[in-house]
Amino acid sequence: MDSATVGALCALGSAMSWSVTSLMVSALAPGIGTFTINAARTTLTAVLVVGWMLAAGGLEVILTLSVGSLALLAVSIVLAIAIGDTIFFESTQRLGLGRAMTISMSYPVVAASLAALLLGERLTAPIVVGGLLTLAGVVLIVMARVELPGEPRPWRGVVEALLAAVAWGVSVVALRVPLDEIDPVSAQAVRLPVGALLLWVTPWALRGLPGLLRGGWPLFGRLLALAALTAVSSVMYGASVKYAGVAVAAVLSSTAPLFAVPLGIVFLGERLPLLAMIGAAVTVAGIVVLRL
């Protein structure tokens, strides 16, 4: 199996993990707050990934990393988690998961454009056509899951979802350069502690701390499971960027709604609308074209 295929599979795995993560954070946020949940999630994930990196002997790689790459890793995590993820989770509280995900999943357009402009990545015909098909399928899937169209759509939530898309798009481009010097696990071992620290110094994260502490061990267990899932997802995402390139990784990692549909059927008893079935077929067609 070539490295590009490994990268593509990692991107799809990351997308599947993100769909579960989004559902879990949305369920935990009420009464505590998305900032606090995101800070706790990122902290526990950082502990797991740093332990993973030390066990694998990756400390020496980090110590030899250039200052420029360290700076880009820090910038990428600030944009991805401290800004992008947090704003996205806030938008889900205002728009619902379906609407927020529809808007924020436009980030591959930002990432692919910047990668072509700044990194010299070629936007080949399969990437362009496959990317458009994949994103169109994602939109169809999410449209089948959102609330009734007559319900209010707060503009603040729309703006937050758009800002999350921009933050994620710039973040993945910033991450690509350091991955020439470092493996995905070590990269996340640098990024995640920085993101956790930045989240906890904000007043919004501290505001929900009493509610987090009242949750006790049951809540800690759920957060630990969320952190483990995030750790695997973050490493797969880094591997997809390293081996598949920014454009392909961004598009394939945005297919989270493709996995959210069957999860809703299995765990929430949801019915599969025809529009979602069409969207899934279009998304799979896009993925096939991307790999041509």
Average pLDDT, the chain: 82
**Contact of 187 with 73, CB cutoff 8 Å:** yes
Query: Residue 262 corresponds to which amino acid?
Result: P
For residue 138, the Cα-to-chain-centroid distance in whole angstroms is 15
Average of per-residue pLDDT across 154-168: 84
Tokens of 19: 């769909």
Residues 6+ apart with CB under 8 A from 133: 282, 283, 285, 286, 289
**Residues 162-191: pLDDT tens digits?**
899 899 989 989 988 888 888 888 888 888
Question: Counting beta carbons within 10 angstroms of the beta carbon of residue 180, is it exposed (0 to 12), middle (13 to 18) or buried (19 or more)?
Answer: exposed
Report the half-sphere exposure of 220 (CA within 13 A, side-chain side). 4
SS3 breakdown of the chain: % helix, strand, coil, rounded to 5? 85, 0, 15
Give the residue, 106 or 111, on which the prediction is more confident.
111
pLDDT band at 272 (very low <50, low <70, confident <90, very high): low
Tokens of 104: 């924020």
Report how many domains make up the chain: 1
Task: Report the distance separating Cα 193 and Cα 214, nearest Å.
Answer: 24
Task: Report the distance separating Cα 26 and Cα 6, nearest Å.
Answer: 30
pLDDT band at 261 (very low <50, low <70, confident <90, very high): low
Residues 6+ apart with CB under 8 A from 19: 256, 257, 258, 259, 260, 263
**Residues 38-53: pLDDT tens digits?**
899 999 999 999 999 9
End-to-end CA distance of the chain: 15
Which structural domain, as residue segments, surrounds residue 94?
3-290
Task: Report the distance separating Cα 31 and Cα 211, nearest Å.
Answer: 7
Whose tokens are 């609330």? That residue is 147
Helix ranges (H only) for 177-208 are 184-200, 203-207
Closest C-alpha among 243, 255, 261, 263 to residue 288 = 255
* pLDDT reading at 150 higher than 60: no
Phi, psi of 247 (to 5 degrees): -60, -50
